[in-house]
Structure 1
Amino acid sequence: MRWTIEEIRTFLDVMDTGTVSGAAARSNLSKSVVSKRIADLEAALGAALFQRHAGRISPTESAEELALRLRPALAEMNDAVESAAWGMAGLRGSLAIAAPMSFGIGHLGPVIADFARQHPDLAVTLDYDDRVIDLVRGRFDVAVRIGQLRDSGLITRKLCEDPRVIVASPDYIVRRGVPESLDDLPTHPSIGYLNVQAAGVWQFLGDDGTVTGVPMQSRVSANNGEAMRDMAVAGLGIALLPMFVAHEALRKGQLVRVAGKLKPTPLPISVVWPPVKPMPMKLRAIVDHLAGAFSERSPWLT
């Protein structure tokens, strides 16, 4: 059995993008080269990896199983080679970072820029998206995540916690008054968040540490914290926002904190990455840099 690393990379590109043309665009290759590499890999394996019909392809069960095993193996091999090269020459190669849009634009950009200045031979890619992205499939080295983390098998390092606040516009308060208790909250229209399934239930900490959930009805919803903030500024309802989203509007008086005696559960801010041994130098460097930038007292709280 003879196969090449280029064939493996191209196979995974086709699996990730779903098409030959998508894989070709990702790798800057012609479609004919991609098709030949796939055909050569199938010949080497003695098994069909894709079903072809009317110009479309779909992966076989063998392809799904192979991709599942190859992705982490290829990532570990790349990291091992890069780590060996960096040992003598400093950080080189590439580093892909995923982060939520509001936090990224508002607070992460300068931190990553400082890291890039410190390592001029390292190519850095920064991708903002509020959705939770599969790091392995998306070929990301590391991600910043906001909120409680699912048990995904990723390695996690907590950076800090961000308090959340209930806010409303001054105009809304004049028209509707302010909620003071947990029972008051559902009587007010709220601005919902689309990216988290449980976002319709606002959670609060009691004095004894217990958590109470309050179901809220949202007439207006958005998939981005800054969009939610803007809806609140427009007077469309009350909103439960991270402080890193709300702090500037609070400072300017565009929003007012309400129900100040209630304690929303805080949002942990973490950096996560796929398990890789040994840990690549570039990964250790960016994790340490983020931990230093976002200490237990976050910059937007000072």
Structure 2
Amino acid sequence: MRYTLDEMETFLAVIELGTLTAAAARLNIAKSVVSKRVSDLERALGAALFRRQAGRITPTEAADRLAERLRPALAALTAATESAAWEMDGSIPLRGMLKISAPMTFGTQHLSTLIARFAARHPELEFRIDYDDRYHDLAQEGYDLGLRIGEVQDSALIRRKLCDDRMMVCASPAYLAARGTPETPGDLADHGCIGYAHMANARFWQFSEGGRTLSPVTRTRLTVNNGEAMRELAAGGLGIAMLPGFIAQPAIDRGALVPLLSGWDTRTLPIAAVWPPIRPVPAKLRAFVDFLAGELKDGAPWRPAPSAR
């Protein structure tokens, strides 16, 4: 039984992306090369990995089982070889592909700038960056690193906290002029609130007082699944929003939103880098996490300085 790393990497790309064309584009090779590598791997294994019908391919159960075991094994092999090269001589440039997953708004507004600076320092390193608000299984989907905002639910992941943010309640000046300003969380029941589709209102609209957690009754006219959309709806006068500081602060700075209920504690949002457990930690991953920690060591850069609050 003979097969190559190229065949395995190509197989995983086809599994993840769903088509030969997409895999060819990611790997920067011809579609015919992708097809041949998959066929050669099937022949070496003596098993069909894909069903082919009317120009479409779907993975077999054997393919799904193989991918589940192959991803961590291939990641470990890559990490071992890259780390060996790095440790032999720390001056060796970082190489390979760094695959990153991050929430959409945090990625576009803040992380991209940091990645650009890191990439400029390491010109031989390649990046694949996915920004969306969907939860990703980092190990199963082949990511080296994820950025998580809020408490990390997956205890199997290695975590390094980068900084803290906090939820902020805010509304537009026009809305407050028309509807009045809530003075306590309980007053939110008399206002229109903007809900977040990925979390129940009772969990999303939380405050704390004297060690007690308060979940006031809220009335949501609008519910959306993206923080930027919530911010713009609030800025348009359509209700009160609760947003992470990194989303709300720019609109507050330009006067489009006004912070509310500042005397009440809201949920803290730890911002952390997470990655699947792997030994040794790849040099590219270690270097990037250290870079992020250094850039954010003084706290969230979007938050105003204490004297400006």
Q: 1:143 aligns with which of 129, 143, 146?
A: 146
Counterpart CA distance in 1 for 2:108 and 2:227 is 11
Residue deviations 1:4-24, cap 9 Å, x none? 222211211221122233323
Q: 1:275 aligns with which of 252, 255, 277?
A: 277
Residue of structure 1 in register with 2:214 after alignment: 212
Counterpart CA distance in 1 for 2:78 and 2:96 is 10
Q: Does 1:181 find its partner at 2:173?
A: no
Q: Which runs of 5+ in 2 are unaligned?
A: none
Distance 1:43 1:127, change over 3 A: closer
Q: How does 1:155-174 map to 2 (within 5 A)?
A: 155-174=158-177
Question: What code does the residue aligned with 1:37 have?
Answer: R
Question: By how many angstroms is 1:175 displaced?
Answer: 0.7
Question: By how many angstroms is 1:96 displaced?
Answer: 2.7
Contact residue 13 and residue 23 of structure 2 kept, 8 A: yes
- SS of the aligned residue for 1:183 comes to helix
Question: By how many angstroms is 1:298 displaced?
Answer: 1.9
Counterpart CA distance in 2 for 1:121 and 1:31 is 25
Residue deviations 1:225-265, cap 9 Å, x none? 22221211111000001111111222232211122232221
Q: 2:132 aligns with which of 99, 113, 129?
A: 129
Contact residue 190 and residue 218 of structure 1 kept, 8 A: yes
Residue deviations 1:118-139, cap 9 Å, x none? 3233234443323333334544
Question: What code does the residue aligned with 2:152 have?
Answer: L
Q: How does 1:216-255 map to 2 (within 5 A)?
A: 216-255=218-257
Distance 1:37 1:235, change over 3 A: same
Distance 1:193 1:296, change over 3 A: farther
Distance 1:279 1:244, change over 3 A: same
Count of residues in correspondence between the two structures? 301
Single out whichever of 250-259 and 229-238 deviates more from structure 2: 250-259
Counterpart CA distance in 2 for 1:199 and 1:10 is 43
Q: Does 1:49 find its partner at 2:49?
A: yes
Question: What code does the residue aligned with 1:55 have?
Answer: G
Contact residue 203 and residue 211 of structure 1 kept, 8 A: no
- SS of the aligned residue for 1:115 comes to helix
- SS of the aligned residue for 1:257 comes to strand
Distance 1:24 1:295, change over 3 A: same
Residue of structure 1 in register with 2:290 after alignment: 288
Single out whichever of 100-109 and 232-241 deviates more from structure 2: 100-109
Q: 2:193 aligns with which of 190, 194, 219?
A: 190
Contact residue 207 and residue 215 of structure 2 kept, 8 A: no
Distance 1:51 1:127, change over 3 A: closer
Contact residue 201 and residue 215 of structure 1 kept, 8 A: no
Contact residue 178 and residue 259 of structure 1 kept, 8 A: no
Single out whichever of 23-32 and 174-183 deviates more from structure 2: 23-32
Contact residue 115 and residue 289 of structure 1 kept, 8 A: yes
RMSD (Å), alpha carbons: 2.2
Distance 1:12 1:231, change over 3 A: same
Counterpart CA distance in 1 for 2:209 and 2:201 is 22
Counterpart CA distance in 2 for 1:200 and 1:268 is 20
Runs of 4+ in 1 over 4 A off after TM superposition: none
Question: What code does the residue aligned with 1:225 have?
Answer: G
Contact residue 194 and residue 240 of structure 2 kept, 8 A: yes
